[in-house]
Amino acid sequence: MKLSNKILIIAEAGINHNGSISKAKKMIDIAKKSGADYVKFQIFRPKNLAIEGAKLASYQKKNSVIKSQVQLLDKYKLSFSDFRLLYKYAKKKKINFLATPFDEESLKFLNTLKVDFIKISSGEINNLPFLKLIRKTKKKILLSTGASNTKDVVNALNILTKKKVTLLHCNSAYPSPINDLNLNSIKFLKNKFKCEVGYSDHSESIYTPLIAIGSGAKVIEKHFTLNKKLNGPDHRSSLNPKELIQMIKLIRIFEKSLGKHQKVISNSEAQNLLLIRKSIVAKKHIYKGEKFSNKNLTCKRPGNGVSPMLWSKFLGKRSKKNYKINEQI
């Protein structure tokens, strides 16, 4: 999937609204203020997503008093009507709305909204029937690749329409340890699959997205929260509003520094070009008819004369005039 040259930044609200429509609206406000391109939520029907016995991940247990996935999902869900209101609210605030659907019912609802992408979570990368349903939407796709290997990505791309997919490198630990981020995978995914790539970051750092962008990421997704002290599984591994704003400012600065995929002389340095380069000059007095040699030629600034790259062409030739010391040839 071809993206613009601008880095696409997704402020991931996820379930950090804690099931509150008012908190979700505040998160949209913060995402807009931060300069993000999109605000993203997670849409699911608890009964369609997990069975009663499904256990919590260790980070979910640590940050919540809830005992099972179904209980957790039920506490943090919003209704379809809630999401329709949030979609309209985001539109009013002039920020793009995105969501990750986790089940068929939620996908069908999301498809009624005019979203630019369907985001596929890492956990759905091997969900063949769900991937087929997403392919049928004919929408552009962001595919997270956390907790997966190359074979998993190959299998998913064989099901999806590859030209519509942007692969997001991801580590699915919350928070992700720095030594497990494996950001070199971004270049690998880009070269291996010949498609656009991005990075869904679950680390606590605001700097890792910069490394990802330097490696070729065109999309950055980052979780944020209203307050890290709120109850819930994802708040402590999310950025607070100030951190989100700071991260996006850094990305926009870094983005400007990337430039072109070629080596060119920039406008700012062009004025210094002749000042820092050198020209061939007389090392000593050279008389007409005298042969040019390493003994009577040298190179000195400025570079507005004969380029030193032509040095070999002058050696052995006879001078057609007299030259003073330091006179350009």
Q: Shortest CA distance to 138 belongs to which of 168, 118, 158?
A: 118
Q: Which residues of the chain have pLDDT under 50?
A: none
Measure the CA dihedral 282/288/290/292, to 10°.
40
Q: From residue 8, give the alpha-carbon distance in Å to each of 62, 75, 122, 221, 277.
A: 32, 31, 19, 8, 40
Which one, of 80, 58, 92, 78, lies nearest residue 14 by Cα?
Answer: 78
Task: Give the pLDDT score at 194.
Answer: 96
Check residue 52 and give its pLDDT: 82
Map out the domains of the chain with their CATH numbers: 8-258 (3.20.20.70), 267-314 (no CATH)
pTM for the full model?
A: 0.90
State the helix-helix crossing angle for 80-92 and 21-34, rounded to 10 degrees.
30
* 291 DSSP β-pair partners: 318
What is the per-residue pLDDT across 310-325, written as a single tens digit (0 to 9) for each?
999 999 999 999 999 9
Residue 46, H or E segment: helix 46-49
HSE at residue 318, side-chain half, CA atoms within 13 A, is 4
Strands 279-282 and 297-300: antiparallel
What is the average pLDDT score of the chain? 95
DSSP 8-state code for residue 310: G
Asked, as a colleague might, if the bond just before 175 is cis with ω within 30 of 0, I would say yes
